[in-house]
Structure 1
Amino acid sequence: MVVDFWGKIKKRRLSSLYLLYGTESFLLTETYELLVRTVLTEEEREFNVSVYDCEDTPVQTALEDAETFPFLGEKRVILIKNPYFFTAEKEKEVEHDLKKLESYIMSPSPFSIVVFVGPYEKLDERKKITKLMKEHAEVFVASPLAEKELREWIVERAGQSGVMVEEHAIDTLLKLAGTNLMTLANELDKLILFVGPGGMIQQETVEKLVSRTLEQNVFVLVEKVTKRQIDDALQVFYDLLENNEEPLKILSLLAGQFRLLYQVKWLAAKGYGQQQIASILNVHPFRIKLAMGQAALFSEEELTTVMRQIAEADYKMKSGTMDRQLVMELLLMRWNEGITNNIQ
């Protein structure tokens, strides 16, 4: 959906009215910026872009601006942020002339592109103004991307710079950087800069250059444990210590990851699929997919035992009865002795 929507903009199949809303703020920003880049040259942007916020400015003020002729250009872009009158939010101190807005929606300025942008999960479909807007505007809903859309987004973003991406490289990028679009964009831009126009981002390049978040490092640590690669798991732990991460914080995230594995395994045993589990746990489906792969290597009994051992390690760290780094090292080595054979 994202790539299709952007494709229409790039082909200059433009509307006079846009309504962009949703919880994925990075997508909202990218879509608006793409509109501006497509409609206006760099020189035109200085004089023909206006930004208004409905929290402190009446919408009619923005619409009056939209009816003003462009300066040294053919189009104007008017960004109207936080249009809460499309939602069920209560009226605020600013008085918005919604009759004026209705009239504008029915007959928008031919030389302006008006873009309403709001970080709202949903709109109030019962309102006349909302129905009218959705009927006449191009609507884009910025929701968290599914795995397929994430992959398309990565390929599209790299393609804008003339760079291709191997399928395995995408797998590794998602594993190491996670599904947060801001983080992914930063890491992808770094990879694009490294390979240059006409280049190909390969798995080895991703492994070499991508910075792992603390959460992703903990995921890798768990993966090493499941494969009984404890030396590698210890190395991940030591790398985290070098980055000034606290053993207690690492243990807490480790507990969260194993808790997720237990929940995923339990729900899968009840017959729930990946998408259903993601919805129940409010976790991105791609993360659930990875967790299902890790959980398959444990029995429920083993995961229960692991959680108990983590709780014991947590108590030792917090009570000060043992050095925190040593507690973590002993825990990892203990798992090495019985991770796949009913942990004792």
Structure 2
Amino acid sequence: MPTYLYWGEDEFQIAQAVQELHHALLDPMWLDFNFVKIVAMADEQIIDGLNYSATPPFGSGDRLTWLASTTITQKCSDTVRSELDRTLANLPPNSHLLLTTSSKPDGRLKSTKLLQKSAIVKEFSPIPPWKTDAIVTFIKKTAQNHQLELTEAGVELLADTVGNNSRRLHMELEKLKLWQGDRQGQVDTDAIASLVNATAHNSLQLAKAILAGDLDRSLSLLAELMGNNEASLKICATLTGQFRTWLWVRLLVESGERDDRKIAEVAGVGNPKRIYFLKQEIRPVSASQLLQAMPILLQLEADLKRGREEAAMLQTAIVQLYDRLSSQAR
């Protein structure tokens, strides 16, 4: 199947996947003849790319036509859809068409339906920061790809330090690979702590600081995140997701549920072993307090989407959360 649709906001992972196609399909000696990248946002650019892809390759190797940042799965004229239909039905077997976009394809469009039937579709979206189990799994898999074996504690430390940043994870693993050299055995926390910069904070740490009632640290972490150009809506999404998880765990604990596997299933936690640590985190607060936090976070999301001043809205929400979580004796 010579057609590929890669979508998602993780530009680094998409770039890596494109590079893999590049190496697998193209002969370096014939690269100038058989590879083209077109930023395909206008109809004319999309049609030019489709016409190019319909041409058999020259010399040895296959042809790869890359329509980057394409809008064909968000809006598509009848002319472009007709051209896409014709192209997909007549692509030479050794000519490959790649489309990439950061936006989720609109499943209602005929162009999207055509690609879903004819193309290999892959999503490359960042793992939500509060899904720590998925981040740990991703780190393990990526480390294996780098031929690195990490201790369990080392994986957890990388998850805390790097979070869901796939680009930084790749860079840090490359650094650890160089350090490992001919050494035998697993890479442990001592090596990771000495080589990986742990000064960068993430939104999950901000959530934990708010839950712990440390207002000064919460505001300091927020300032650092904003200084690092972390998107306000992503900060809000992480806080909302983490507080929702804490709320579910607390509600189930207060209802008398003792089975960590059941709690994990209901709370959407992939690894039941995490429930023990979540229970420790929520011990100082009640379900009532966590319930009071949710409207604040939902209002924050609405205010940010209305375009209100981001830093002020986030600071206000943090202070409000601190007040709600401190309203009962800890």
TM category, shorter: 0.5 to 0.7
Instruction: Choose which of 159, 171, 175 in structure 2 pairs with 1:190.
Output: 175
Match of 1:166 in 2: 151
Which one-letter code corresponds to 1:144 in the other structure? P
- What displacement does 1:47 show? 3.9
Structure 2: 5+ residue runs without aligned partners?
226-235, 254-262, 294-328
Counterparts of 1:59-78 in structure 2 under 5 Å? 59-78=46-65
Identity %: 18
Partner of 1:118: 101
Judged with a 3 Å threshold, the aligned counterparts in structure 2 of structure 1 residues 260 and 101 are, in CA distance, closer, same or farther, namely closer
2:84 to 97, 101, 111: 101
Which of residues 61, 83, 86 in structure 1 aligns to 2:70? 83
SS at match of 1:214: coil
Please show how residues 2-17 of structure 1 align to structure 2 within 5 Å: 15-17=1-3
Q: Is the 8 A contact 2:8 2:102 kept in 1?
A: yes
Whether 1:40 aligns to 2:26 is yes
Deviations 1:188-240 (A, max 9, x none): 222122213775422221122111243259939x78x97xxxxxxxxxx9xxx
Query: Contact 2:161 / 2:200 at 8 angstroms: preserved in 1?
Result: no
Is it true that 1:141 corresponds to 2:123 in the alignment? yes
Return the alpha-carbon distance in structure 2 between the equivalents of residues 132 and 90 of structure 1.
12
Aligned to 2:22, the other structure's residue is in SS state helix
TM-score, normalised by the number of residues in structure 1: 0.61
**In the comparison of the two structures, how many residue pairs are matched?**
266
Would you say the 8 A contact 1:162–1:198 is kept in 2?
Answer: no
CA contact (8 A) 2:151 2:188 kept: yes
- What TM-score do the two structures reach when normalised by structure 2? 0.63
RMSD: 4.5
* Separation in structure 2 between the aligned mates of residue 100 and residue 260 of structure 1, nearest angstrom: 42
Deviations 1:42-65 (A, max 9, x none): 444444221112214432211222
2: distance between equivalents of 1:253 and 1:291?
Answer: 26
1:137 offset after TM fit, Å?
A: 1.0
Shift in CA distance, 290/19, structure 1 to aligned 2, threshold 3 Å: farther
Question: Where does residue 324 of structure 1 map in the other structure?
Answer: none
Classify the secondary structure of the residue corresponding to 2:168.
helix
Checking the alignment, whether the CA contact within 8 Å between 2:51 and 2:87 is kept in structure 1 is no
Deviations 1:164-210, CA, capped at 9 Å, x for gaps: 22332111110122122222222222212221377542222112211
What residue identity is the alignment partner of 2:16? E
Secondary structure, counterpart of 1:191 in structure 2 = helix
Distance, in Å, in 1 between the alignment partners of 2:222 and 2:122 is 40
Q: Which residue of 2 aligns with 1:58?
A: 45
Larger-gyration structure (1/2): 1
- Residues 44 and 208 from structure 1, CA distance in 2 versus in 1: closer, same or farther, beyond 3 angstroms? farther
Distance between the aligned counterparts of 1:262 and 1:133, measured in 2? 38
Q: Secondary structure at the match of 2:201?
A: helix
Distance 1:269 1:31, change over 3 A: same
- Greater Cα offset, 151-160 or 185-194: 151-160
Tell me, in whole angstroms, the C-alpha distance in 1 between the residues paired with 2:154 and 2:198: 15
CA contact (8 A) 1:165 1:202 kept: yes
Alignment CA distance shift 1:193-1:45 (3 Å): farther
Partner of 2:139: 154
Q: Which runs of 5+ in 1 are unaligned?
A: 1-14, 227-236, 238-246, 308-341
Partner residue, 1:318: none
What is the one-letter code of the residue matched to 1:98?
R
- What is aligned with 1:314? none
Alpha-carbon offset, residue 116 of structure 1: 0.7
Name the CA distance, whole Å, in 2 between partners of 1:251 and 1:148.
24
Q: Which residue of 1 aligns with 2:7?
A: 21
